[in-house]
Amino acid sequence: MAFQIDPVAPLDEEVRRIAREQLRKIEKSIADREGDPHEAIHDARKRFKKLRGLIRIIRNADPDFYRSENDRFRDTAKELSFVRDKAALVEALDALSKRFEEEVTTEAFAEVRGRLVEHRDEAAASEGDLGPKLELVGTALERAHDRLDHLRIAKPRAGASRILAGGIARTHARGRSALAATEKRRDAELFHDLRKRAKYASMHFRLIRPLWPEIFAPMAETAKGIGDDLGLDHDYAVFRAAVAADPGSFGSQQTLTIVLGLMDRRQSELRQSARDSAQRLYAESPKGLQKRVERLYHAARTVASRAADAPAAGSGEASRRAA
């Protein structure tokens, strides 16, 4: 089923259903012995992020559950990040080359790309047998399943609108604060924080999409776009830090001057695009968004109840009159 909450079902049941679906997908990915283990790890990392977004929305309903599972998903994903982070730099450089392909020949990137590929392959070789890491994931999944069995939300129907709306408002407020921070200082870590907040916002708007698809689907896409833009920006910031620490490992000074100059331009574009989109995404106050989600949740339940109570076609009084 989709990564979205059915407003008619009890909230704790929906959280368990969605979480178990993500856990099963991770299990399937790491159990595929014929597949690429690195891709399995990449898939697991993405799904652990979705799980963290899911449980963040019910944070205030069960703080102990949130803390334990957020730590579990975060720490397991972190253990799997080393090789993927190296691969991301290669992909980021390829994106830079494509962006400026009409201005600079691809040969200008070849030397640096070759070095990045070497670093990625060395990291993969140093990882050796990925079996232990996949076992680590398996253990985390087993414990997560057990913990989900004990998730209970008080008044999962009556209090669902307040819990959901409150969780979304909290994420929205942190996103607004992160955006405001980038207006004061153009620091890489501040943009990275805005990226994380936008990623969670994208997940949350996907989860409540059924409440008003025409509104929340575009909001989810806008938030995802912010996250994607600032994800590239973060990769470039990581690259810069690596070059500053050991410039000789990435190519000649002449080549690096070209690449870093283009990277400056691209980071400025990405940050401006992200901030422009974020200004729209976070235009509404957290309190306003909270009230809107609560009302829409109740409206969705009312519509669903009316549909459930409506007589089936061809039955009832109208059918008797027609006869």
> What is the DSSP secondary-structure string of 273-308?
HHHHHHHHHT-S-HHHHHHHHHHHHHHHHHHHHHHH
CA distances from 54 to 83, 125, 150, 174 (A): 26, 34, 16, 16
pLDDT top residue among 263 and 85: 263
Q: Which two tokens stand for residue 40?
A: 């399995």
Residue 313 lies in a domain: no
Residue 226 maps to which CATH number?
A: 1.40.20.10
Contact 297, 7 (CB under 8 A): yes
For residue 177, pLDDT beyond 70:
yes
57: DSSP letter: T
For residue 72, pLDDT beyond 60:
yes
Dist CA 98 CA 115 (whole Å): 18
Q: Which two tokens stand for residue 309?
A: 């109570």
Residue 308 lies in a domain: no
Dist CA 197 CA 38 (whole Å): 27
For residue 88, pLDDT beyond 80:
yes
pLDDT in tens, 248-297: 899 899 999 999 999 999 999 999 999 999 999 999 999 999 999 999 99
pLDDT in tens, 99-154: 999 998 878 899 999 999 999 888 878 876 677 877 888 899 999 999 999 888 87
Residue 315 lies in a domain: no
Residue 233 lies in a domain: yes
Residue 181: which domain range? 11-303
251: left (phi over 0), alpha (psi -120 to 50) or beta: left
CA distances from 276 to 96, 133, 174 (A): 21, 40, 17
> What's the confidence (pLDDT) of residue 198?
98
Q: Quick one: pLDDT band at residue 33, thresholds 50, 70, 90?
A: low
Quick one: angle between helices 107-127 and 253-281, nearest 10?
80
Residue 213 lies in a domain: yes
Q: Quick one: pLDDT band at residue 169, thresholds 50, 70, 90?
A: very high
The DSSP-derived string for 73-115 is HHHHHHHT-HHHHHHHHHHHHHHHHHHTTTTS-THHHHHHHHH
R_g of the chain, CA atoms, integer Å? 23
> What's the confidence (pLDDT) of residue 314?
55
Residue 3 lies in a domain: no
Residue 204 lies in a domain: yes
Residue 276 lies in a domain: yes
> What's the confidence (pLDDT) of residue 312?
61
Count of structural domains within the chain: 1
